[in-house]
């Protein structure tokens, strides 16, 4: 295999990949090489441009830490997270739609009793969230694990505070025997995705804004059901149609009712898809 040129290089790499023992890895790598080479050809990619690309990816890696996942953010602003979620969670009508996980999920959040105050001192106006976890036929899903997280009135998640060593506006509850759950939190507001890294620079260079519409995150799991990762968005938010990470689904938008005394109330039911037997 010598004297490879711009006509023969792609086929040479694909031929070498043909020996990959794992069939799925072979399929993924072959397709990736085909598309990467097609991109370079189509754009007539120059060496300085590819060097910039490598420096950008290096900076993305350097920005990652246990509490900051710049690669997830990159996938999100490129729409790749939403595409992957949409392809892998095509559910029957009536089931709650999935959306992006985002970079601020924490796997070991505190377990709190149903009805608890998850805000635990997070800045913001009080907000009561109530709902029910059920199946498509309306049957209550008792004991579902309801993981919740959101940003506060400063637009930050607990993990974005360097000096905070406990969780706020985050927690895990179990639905009751009637499938119902209730939690107290603070009012979520629109917030910008982190722009102090290479992904923020890319957003700026491409004329995009970093704002996400106000939302709360939920991850709901119960035996016998497909896990659900989703958001609940606030009706009339100015960013619903220009979300920086393309995560909004119409069915996930709900009214957040202001009781006129500084308290907001949200009611949202989650319909889980039964796991195929």
Binding site for ligand BEZ (CB under 6 A): 73, 76, 100, 102-104, 193, 212, 245
From the CB of 8, what's the least distance to ligand BEZ, in Å? Answer: 40
Residue 161 tokens read as 């505070």
From the CB of 199, what's the least distance to ligand BEZ, in Å? Answer: 9
- Residues contacting Fe ion: total by CB under 5 A: 1
Residues 6+ away with beta carbon under 8 Å from 183: 112, 114, 115, 116, 117, 118, 128, 129, 146, 148, 171, 173
Residue 129's binding partner out of ligand BEZ, Fe ion, none, with CB under 5 to 8 Å set by partner kind: none
From the CB of 73, what's the least distance to ligand BEZ, in Å? Answer: 5
Instruction: Return the number of the residue (102 or 197) whose C-beta is nearest ligand BEZ.
Output: 102
Residue nearest to ligand BEZ (CB): 102
Nearest of 104, 141, 134, 124 to residue 245 by alpha carbon: 104
Instruction: Return the number of the residue (99 or 273) whose C-beta is nearest Fe ion.
Output: 99
Please, are residues 97 and 252 in contact by the beta-carbon 8 Å criterion? yes
Instruction: Return the number of the residue (170 or 212) whose C-beta is nearest ligand BEZ.
Output: 212
From the CB of 212, what's the least distance to Fe ion, in Å? Answer: 6
Residue 156's binding partner out of Fe ion, ligand BEZ, none, with CB under 5 to 8 Å set by partner kind: none
From the CB of 234, what's the least distance to Fe ion, in Å? Answer: 12
Q: Hey, which residues between 87 and 116 contact Fe ion (CB under 5 A)?
A: 102
Instruction: Return the number of the residue (141 or 234) whose C-beta is nearest Fe ion.
Output: 234
From the CB of 151, what's the least distance to ligand BEZ, in Å? Answer: 7
Residue 245's binding partner out of Fe ion, ligand BEZ, none, with CB under 5 to 8 Å set by partner kind: ligand BEZ
Instruction: Return the number of the residue (157 or 181) whose C-beta is nearest ligand BEZ.
Output: 157
Please, are residues 71 and 64 in contact by the beta-carbon 8 Å criterion? yes
Residue 188's binding partner out of Fe ion, ligand BEZ, none, with CB under 5 to 8 Å set by partner kind: none
Backbone angles phi, psi at 172, to 5 degrees: -125, 130
233 vs 252: CA distance, rounded Å? 6
Residue 158's binding partner out of ligand BEZ, Fe ion, none, with CB under 5 to 8 Å set by partner kind: none
Backbone angles phi, psi at 2, to 5 degrees: -130, 170
**Burial of 121 per CB tally in 10 Å (0-12, 13-18, 19+):** exposed
Q: Coil, strand or helix: which one is 59?
A: helix
From the CB of 253, what's the least distance to ligand BEZ, in Å? Answer: 15
Q: Coil, strand or helix: which one is 192?
A: strand
190 vs 156: CA distance, rounded Å? 10
Please, are residues 196 and 162 in contact by the beta-carbon 8 Å criterion? no
Residue numbers at the binding site for Fe ion (CB under 5 A): 102
């Amino acid at each position: 295999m010598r004297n490879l040129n711009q006509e023969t290089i792609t086929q040479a790499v694909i031929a070498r990949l043909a020996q990959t023992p794992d069939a799925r890895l072979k399929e993924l790598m072959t397709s990736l090489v085909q598309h990467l080479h097609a991109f370079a050809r189509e754009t007539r990619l120059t060496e300085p441009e590819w060097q910039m690309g490598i420096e950008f990816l290096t900076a993305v890696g350097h920005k990652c830490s246990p509490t900051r996942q710049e690669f997830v953010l990159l996938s999100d602003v490129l729409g790749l997270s939403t595409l992957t979620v949409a392809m892998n969670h095509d559910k029957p009508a009536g089931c709650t739609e999935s959306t992006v996980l985002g970079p601020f999920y924490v796997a070991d959040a505190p377990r709190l009793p149903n009805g608890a105050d998850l805000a635990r001192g997070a800045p913001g106006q009080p907000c009561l969230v109530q709902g029910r976890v059920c199946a498509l036929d309306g049957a209550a899903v008792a004991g579902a694990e309801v993981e919740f997280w959101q940003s506060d009135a400063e637009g930050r998640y607990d993990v974005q505070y360097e000096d905070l060593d406990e969780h706020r506006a985050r927690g895990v509850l179990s639905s009751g025997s009637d499938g119902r759950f209730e939690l107290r939190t603070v009012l979520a507001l629109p917030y910008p995705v982190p722009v102090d890294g290479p992904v923020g620079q890319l957003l700026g260079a491409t004329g995009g804004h970093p704002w996400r519409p106000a939302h709360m995150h939920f991850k709901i799991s119960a035996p016998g059901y497909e896990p659900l990762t989703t958001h609940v968005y606030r009706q009339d938010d100015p960013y619903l149609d220009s979300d920086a990470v393309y995560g909004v689904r119409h069915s996930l938008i709900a009214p957040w009712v202001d009781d006129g005394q500084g308290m907001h109330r949200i009611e949202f039911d989650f319909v889980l898809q039964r796991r195929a037997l």
